[in-house]
Amino acid sequence: MEAGLAPATLEAYSRDLRDLFGHLRQRKISDLKRLRPNDLAEHTRYLHRERKLDPASIARHLATLRVFFRFLQANRVIEDDPARLLEVPTRWKRLPGVLSPKQIKALLEAPLTMATDAKNGDVGMLARLWIRDRAMLELMYAAGLRASEVGALRANEFNPTLGVVLVTGKGNKQRLVPVGKPAQQWVKRYLDEVREPLLKRFGDQRDQQRLLLSATGRPLERVAVWQIVRRCANVGGLKDVHPHMLRHSFATHLLAGGADLRVVQELLGHADIATTQIYTHVDRSRLRDVVKKHHPRG
Protein backbone atom coordinates (compact mmCIF):
# COMPACT_ATOMS: atom_id res chain seq x y z
CA MET A 1 0.00 0.00 0.00
CA GLU A 2 2.86 2.38 0.79
CA ALA A 3 4.55 1.87 -2.58
CA GLY A 4 1.33 1.63 -4.61
CA LEU A 5 2.53 -1.51 -6.39
CA ALA A 6 0.39 -3.36 -8.90
CA PRO A 7 -1.02 -6.81 -7.96
CA ALA A 8 1.24 -8.48 -10.56
CA THR A 9 4.30 -6.86 -8.95
CA LEU A 10 3.23 -8.02 -5.49
CA GLU A 11 2.77 -11.53 -6.85
CA ALA A 12 6.28 -11.46 -8.37
CA TYR A 13 7.81 -10.20 -5.11
CA SER A 14 6.02 -13.00 -3.21
CA ARG A 15 7.50 -15.61 -5.55
CA ASP A 16 10.96 -14.13 -5.08
CA LEU A 17 10.67 -14.35 -1.29
CA ARG A 18 9.39 -17.92 -1.46
CA ASP A 19 12.45 -18.77 -3.58
CA LEU A 20 14.71 -17.18 -0.95
CA PHE A 21 13.09 -18.97 1.99
CA GLY A 22 13.16 -22.30 0.16
CA HIS A 23 16.87 -21.93 -0.60
CA LEU A 24 17.64 -20.88 2.97
CA ARG A 25 15.83 -23.96 4.30
CA GLN A 26 17.97 -26.15 2.03
CA ARG A 27 21.04 -24.58 3.62
CA LYS A 28 19.64 -25.04 7.15
CA ILE A 29 19.33 -21.29 7.74
CA SER A 30 16.25 -20.32 9.74
CA ASP A 31 17.18 -17.17 11.67
CA LEU A 32 16.97 -13.98 9.56
CA LYS A 33 18.73 -12.06 12.32
CA ARG A 34 21.90 -14.04 11.67
CA LEU A 35 21.74 -13.68 7.90
CA ARG A 36 24.88 -12.12 6.35
CA PRO A 37 25.63 -10.52 2.97
CA ASN A 38 27.54 -13.66 1.97
CA ASP A 39 24.38 -15.72 2.44
CA LEU A 40 22.46 -13.51 0.02
CA ALA A 41 25.39 -13.52 -2.40
CA GLU A 42 25.24 -17.33 -2.34
CA HIS A 43 21.51 -17.10 -3.09
CA THR A 44 22.30 -14.88 -6.09
CA ARG A 45 24.79 -17.47 -7.38
CA TYR A 46 22.13 -20.15 -6.88
CA LEU A 47 19.66 -18.17 -9.02
CA HIS A 48 22.27 -17.84 -11.76
CA ARG A 49 23.91 -21.27 -11.75
CA GLU A 50 21.12 -23.63 -10.73
CA ARG A 51 17.93 -21.78 -11.62
CA LYS A 52 19.54 -20.43 -14.84
CA LEU A 53 17.75 -17.08 -14.50
CA ASP A 54 18.70 -14.23 -16.81
CA PRO A 55 20.20 -10.97 -15.43
CA ALA A 56 16.86 -9.14 -15.65
CA SER A 57 15.12 -11.74 -13.45
CA ILE A 58 18.00 -11.80 -10.96
CA ALA A 59 17.92 -7.99 -10.80
CA ARG A 60 14.23 -8.18 -9.92
CA HIS A 61 14.98 -10.76 -7.20
CA LEU A 62 17.59 -8.43 -5.73
CA ALA A 63 15.15 -5.52 -5.80
CA THR A 64 12.74 -7.69 -3.81
CA LEU A 65 15.43 -8.55 -1.25
CA ARG A 66 16.42 -4.91 -0.81
CA VAL A 67 12.84 -3.83 -0.13
CA PHE A 68 12.21 -6.78 2.19
CA PHE A 69 15.30 -6.40 4.36
CA ARG A 70 14.96 -2.63 4.46
CA PHE A 71 11.45 -3.20 5.79
CA LEU A 72 12.72 -5.65 8.43
CA GLN A 73 15.39 -3.20 9.56
CA ALA A 74 12.93 -0.28 9.71
CA ASN A 75 10.65 -2.39 11.90
CA ARG A 76 13.61 -3.47 14.10
CA VAL A 77 13.26 -7.14 13.26
CA ILE A 78 16.95 -7.15 12.28
CA GLU A 79 19.76 -4.78 13.25
CA ASP A 80 21.82 -4.79 10.05
CA ASP A 81 20.61 -4.96 6.45
CA PRO A 82 22.41 -7.88 4.73
CA ALA A 83 21.13 -6.81 1.28
CA ARG A 84 22.71 -3.35 1.27
CA LEU A 85 25.93 -4.55 -0.39
CA LEU A 86 24.39 -6.70 -3.12
CA GLU A 87 25.49 -5.77 -6.62
CA VAL A 88 22.97 -5.70 -9.44
CA PRO A 89 24.06 -7.82 -12.44
CA THR A 90 24.67 -6.07 -15.75
CA ARG A 91 21.49 -5.90 -17.79
CA TRP A 92 21.58 -5.69 -21.54
CA LYS A 93 18.58 -4.00 -23.07
CA ARG A 94 16.72 -6.64 -25.00
CA LEU A 95 14.81 -5.41 -28.04
CA PRO A 96 11.13 -6.33 -27.73
CA GLY A 97 9.59 -8.85 -30.07
CA VAL A 98 7.38 -7.15 -32.66
CA LEU A 99 4.84 -8.48 -35.16
CA SER A 100 4.77 -7.11 -38.70
CA PRO A 101 1.51 -5.60 -40.01
CA LYS A 102 1.00 -8.79 -42.04
CA GLN A 103 1.41 -10.94 -38.93
CA ILE A 104 -0.94 -8.68 -36.97
CA LYS A 105 -3.55 -9.20 -39.70
CA ALA A 106 -3.14 -12.98 -39.44
CA LEU A 107 -3.53 -12.84 -35.66
CA LEU A 108 -6.64 -10.65 -35.82
CA GLU A 109 -8.31 -12.93 -38.36
CA ALA A 110 -7.55 -16.13 -36.43
CA PRO A 111 -10.69 -16.10 -34.20
CA LEU A 112 -13.00 -16.33 -37.22
CA THR A 113 -10.84 -19.11 -38.67
CA MET A 114 -11.19 -21.07 -35.44
CA ALA A 115 -14.95 -20.54 -35.41
CA THR A 116 -15.25 -21.66 -39.04
CA ASP A 117 -13.16 -24.77 -38.40
CA ALA A 118 -15.16 -25.76 -35.33
CA LYS A 119 -16.89 -29.10 -35.85
CA ASN A 120 -19.32 -29.12 -32.92
CA GLY A 121 -22.08 -27.51 -34.97
CA ASP A 122 -22.97 -25.09 -32.18
CA VAL A 123 -24.57 -22.03 -33.74
CA GLY A 124 -25.62 -20.51 -30.45
CA MET A 125 -24.03 -17.81 -28.35
CA LEU A 126 -20.92 -19.90 -27.59
CA ALA A 127 -20.15 -20.10 -31.29
CA ARG A 128 -20.06 -16.29 -31.37
CA LEU A 129 -17.36 -15.99 -28.72
CA TRP A 130 -14.89 -15.53 -31.55
CA ILE A 131 -16.33 -12.01 -31.84
CA ARG A 132 -15.21 -11.34 -28.26
CA ASP A 133 -11.72 -12.66 -29.05
CA ARG A 134 -11.50 -10.47 -32.16
CA ALA A 135 -12.67 -7.41 -30.20
CA MET A 136 -10.10 -8.13 -27.47
CA LEU A 137 -7.22 -8.47 -29.94
CA GLU A 138 -8.30 -5.34 -31.82
CA LEU A 139 -8.38 -3.37 -28.57
CA MET A 140 -4.98 -4.60 -27.42
CA TYR A 141 -3.34 -3.64 -30.72
CA ALA A 142 -5.29 -0.41 -31.21
CA ALA A 143 -4.54 0.94 -27.72
CA GLY A 144 -1.32 -0.87 -26.72
CA LEU A 145 -2.96 -2.56 -23.75
CA ARG A 146 -1.34 -5.02 -21.37
CA ALA A 147 -3.10 -8.34 -20.73
CA SER A 148 -4.06 -7.20 -17.24
CA GLU A 149 -5.36 -3.88 -18.56
CA VAL A 150 -7.64 -5.29 -21.24
CA GLY A 151 -9.04 -7.84 -18.79
CA ALA A 152 -9.75 -5.16 -16.20
CA LEU A 153 -11.56 -2.80 -18.60
CA ARG A 154 -15.10 -1.96 -17.55
CA ALA A 155 -17.88 -1.58 -20.05
CA ASN A 156 -18.35 2.10 -19.21
CA GLU A 157 -14.64 2.77 -19.82
CA PHE A 158 -15.15 2.27 -23.55
CA ASN A 159 -16.61 5.46 -25.04
CA PRO A 160 -17.92 4.76 -28.55
CA THR A 161 -18.88 8.41 -29.11
CA LEU A 162 -15.36 9.73 -28.54
CA GLY A 163 -13.63 6.56 -29.71
CA VAL A 164 -11.47 6.24 -26.58
CA VAL A 165 -10.88 3.83 -23.70
CA LEU A 166 -10.05 4.79 -20.13
CA VAL A 167 -7.22 2.48 -19.10
CA THR A 168 -6.05 1.83 -15.53
CA GLY A 169 -2.38 0.87 -15.68
CA LYS A 170 0.41 0.17 -13.22
CA GLY A 171 0.14 1.99 -9.91
CA ASN A 172 -3.56 2.61 -10.66
CA LYS A 173 -2.57 5.41 -13.03
CA GLN A 174 -5.26 6.16 -15.60
CA ARG A 175 -4.86 7.28 -19.19
CA LEU A 176 -7.20 7.99 -22.10
CA VAL A 177 -6.24 6.17 -25.28
CA PRO A 178 -7.97 6.67 -28.64
CA VAL A 179 -8.83 3.56 -30.64
CA GLY A 180 -9.29 3.29 -34.39
CA LYS A 181 -12.53 2.52 -36.22
CA PRO A 182 -11.87 -1.23 -36.71
CA ALA A 183 -11.48 -1.73 -32.95
CA GLN A 184 -14.53 0.42 -32.25
CA GLN A 185 -16.65 -1.57 -34.70
CA TRP A 186 -15.60 -4.95 -33.30
CA VAL A 187 -16.19 -3.86 -29.69
CA LYS A 188 -19.66 -2.56 -30.60
CA ARG A 189 -20.45 -5.82 -32.35
CA TYR A 190 -19.24 -7.79 -29.32
CA LEU A 191 -21.38 -5.66 -27.00
CA ASP A 192 -24.51 -6.25 -29.08
CA GLU A 193 -24.10 -9.88 -30.14
CA VAL A 194 -22.18 -11.49 -27.29
CA ARG A 195 -22.06 -9.46 -24.10
CA GLU A 196 -25.76 -8.65 -23.97
CA PRO A 197 -26.84 -12.31 -24.33
CA LEU A 198 -24.29 -13.28 -21.66
CA LEU A 199 -25.69 -10.69 -19.26
CA LYS A 200 -29.25 -11.84 -19.90
CA ARG A 201 -28.22 -15.41 -19.18
CA PHE A 202 -25.92 -14.88 -16.20
CA GLY A 203 -26.44 -11.23 -15.23
CA ASP A 204 -28.00 -11.85 -11.83
CA GLN A 205 -25.05 -13.87 -10.55
CA ARG A 206 -22.05 -12.53 -12.48
CA ASP A 207 -19.96 -9.36 -12.65
CA GLN A 208 -21.87 -7.00 -14.94
CA GLN A 209 -19.21 -4.28 -14.92
CA ARG A 210 -16.33 -5.86 -16.85
CA LEU A 211 -16.22 -5.33 -20.59
CA LEU A 212 -14.87 -8.76 -21.58
CA LEU A 213 -16.73 -11.76 -20.21
CA SER A 214 -16.12 -15.50 -20.34
CA ALA A 215 -18.58 -18.05 -21.68
CA THR A 216 -20.09 -18.29 -18.19
CA GLY A 217 -20.46 -14.54 -17.78
CA ARG A 218 -17.46 -14.16 -15.48
CA PRO A 219 -14.78 -11.47 -15.98
CA LEU A 220 -12.09 -12.51 -18.44
CA GLU A 221 -8.94 -12.87 -16.34
CA ARG A 222 -5.32 -12.26 -17.33
CA VAL A 223 -4.55 -15.96 -17.76
CA ALA A 224 -7.50 -16.35 -20.15
CA VAL A 225 -6.20 -13.41 -22.21
CA TRP A 226 -2.83 -15.18 -22.54
CA GLN A 227 -4.53 -18.41 -23.59
CA ILE A 228 -6.65 -16.69 -26.26
CA VAL A 229 -3.63 -14.88 -27.73
CA ARG A 230 -1.55 -18.07 -27.81
CA ARG A 231 -4.39 -20.05 -29.40
CA CYS A 232 -5.02 -17.41 -32.06
CA ALA A 233 -1.29 -17.15 -32.78
CA ASN A 234 -1.08 -20.90 -33.38
CA VAL A 235 -4.04 -20.78 -35.75
CA GLY A 236 -2.46 -17.82 -37.55
CA GLY A 237 0.79 -19.73 -38.02
CA LEU A 238 2.75 -17.50 -35.64
CA LYS A 239 5.29 -18.73 -33.12
CA ASP A 240 6.33 -17.44 -29.69
CA VAL A 241 3.59 -14.81 -29.55
CA HIS A 242 2.44 -13.41 -26.21
CA PRO A 243 0.01 -10.58 -25.31
CA HIS A 244 2.76 -8.01 -24.72
CA MET A 245 3.87 -8.35 -28.34
CA LEU A 246 0.68 -6.56 -29.36
CA ARG A 247 1.70 -3.68 -27.12
CA HIS A 248 5.24 -3.70 -28.55
CA SER A 249 3.83 -3.75 -32.09
CA PHE A 250 1.47 -0.87 -31.31
CA ALA A 251 4.34 1.35 -30.17
CA THR A 252 6.75 0.31 -32.92
CA HIS A 253 4.25 0.78 -35.73
CA LEU A 254 3.30 4.24 -34.42
CA LEU A 255 6.92 5.37 -34.32
CA ALA A 256 7.62 3.83 -37.73
CA GLY A 257 4.68 5.84 -39.05
CA GLY A 258 6.13 9.10 -37.75
CA ALA A 259 4.48 9.44 -34.31
CA ASP A 260 6.20 11.62 -31.72
CA LEU A 261 8.02 9.71 -28.98
CA ARG A 262 6.34 11.77 -26.24
CA VAL A 263 2.91 10.93 -27.64
CA VAL A 264 3.72 7.21 -27.65
CA GLN A 265 4.99 7.52 -24.08
CA GLU A 266 1.64 9.03 -23.06
CA LEU A 267 -0.35 6.35 -24.88
CA LEU A 268 1.64 3.53 -23.26
CA GLY A 269 1.44 5.11 -19.81
CA HIS A 270 5.22 5.09 -19.28
CA ALA A 271 6.37 7.28 -16.39
CA ASP A 272 9.89 7.57 -17.86
CA ILE A 273 10.50 8.26 -21.55
CA ALA A 274 13.65 6.09 -21.33
CA THR A 275 11.29 3.10 -21.18
CA THR A 276 9.66 4.20 -24.43
CA GLN A 277 12.94 4.91 -26.21
CA ILE A 278 13.70 1.22 -26.68
CA TYR A 279 11.13 1.19 -29.48
CA THR A 280 13.19 3.67 -31.49
CA HIS A 281 15.78 0.91 -31.99
CA VAL A 282 13.36 -1.69 -33.31
CA ASP A 283 12.44 -0.30 -36.71
CA ARG A 284 15.45 0.91 -38.70
CA SER A 285 13.67 1.35 -42.01
CA ARG A 286 12.34 4.80 -41.11
CA LEU A 287 15.83 5.98 -40.13
CA ARG A 288 17.16 4.88 -43.50
CA ASP A 289 14.30 6.63 -45.29
CA VAL A 290 14.93 9.88 -43.40
CA VAL A 291 18.65 9.83 -44.21
CA LYS A 292 18.01 8.98 -47.84
CA LYS A 293 15.48 11.79 -48.17
CA HIS A 294 17.27 14.60 -46.34
CA HIS A 295 20.99 13.90 -46.52
CA PRO A 296 22.70 15.49 -49.55
CA ARG A 297 24.69 12.30 -50.11
CA GLY A 298 21.80 9.97 -49.32
98-123 residue pLDDT tens: 999 999 999 999 999 888 765 544 44
pTM score above 0.75: no
Q: Which is catalytic among the residues 13, 141, 190, 279?
A: 279
Q: Residue 206: pLDDT band by 50, 70, 90 thresholds?
A: low
Do residues 205 and 59 share a domain? Answer: no
pLDDT at 152: 92
Shared-domain flag, residues 118 and 161: yes
Residue 228 lies in a domain: yes
Query: Which one, of 144, 178, 83, 111, lies nearest residue 279 by Cα?
Result: 144
What confidence tens digit (pLDDT) does each residue in 21-42 have?
Answer: 999 999 999 888 888 989 999 9
- Rounded CA-CA distance 256/265 in Å is 14
**115 with 194, same domain?**
yes
Catalytic member of 146, 210, 248, 253: 146
Q: Would you say 251 and 268 are in contact if contact means Cβ atoms under 8 Å apart?
A: yes
DSSP per-residue codes, 160-188: TTTTEEEEE-GGG-EEEEE--HHHHHHHH
Q: Which of 132, 195, 247, 253 is catalytic?
A: 247
132 contacts 186 by C-beta, under 8 angstroms: no
CA distances to 231, 273, 275 from 265, rounded to whole Å, are 30, 6, 8
In a domain, 160, yes or no: yes
Asked whether residue 86 is domain-assigned, the answer is: no
What are the pLDDT digits (tens) for 53-88? 888 788 889 989 999 999 999 999 998 899 988 876
Per cent of the chain over pLDDT 90 is 53
Q: How far apart are CA 238 and CA 166, in angstroms?
A: 30
Per-residue model confidence (pLDDT) at position 123:
46
- Going by pLDDT thresholds of 50, 70 and 90, the confidence category of residue 126 is low
Catalytic-labelled residue, pool 23, 60, 154, 170: 170
Of 74, 90, 117, the residue at which a domain comes to its end is: 74
Backbone angles phi, psi at 193, to 5 degrees: -95, -20
Same domain, 70 and 127: no
Closest CA to 213 of 132, 142, 134, 282: 132
Residue 61 known to be catalytic: no
Enclosing domain of residue 65: 7-74
Active site residue 279: yes
Residue 164's beta-bridge partner residues? 159, 178
Q: CATH number for the domain including 168?
A: 1.10.443.10
How far is it, in rounded angstroms, from Cα 56 to Cα 58? 6
Write out pLDDT tens, residues 211-244: 999 988 889 988 999 999 999 999 999 999 999 9
70 is catalytic: no
CB atoms within 10 A of CB 204: 9
The residues near 196 (Cβ < 8 Å, ≥ 6 apart) are none
Residues found in the chain: 298
Residue 234 lies in a domain: yes
286 is annotated as an active-site residue: no
Max CA distance (Å), the chain: 70
> Looking at per-residue confidence, does 190 or 96 come out higher?
190
The pLDDT value given to residue 87: 75
Q: Are 267 and 260 in contact (CB under 8 A)?
A: no
Total domains present in the chain: 2
- Determine the Cα–Cα distance for residues 58 and 157; give it in Å rounded to an integer: 37
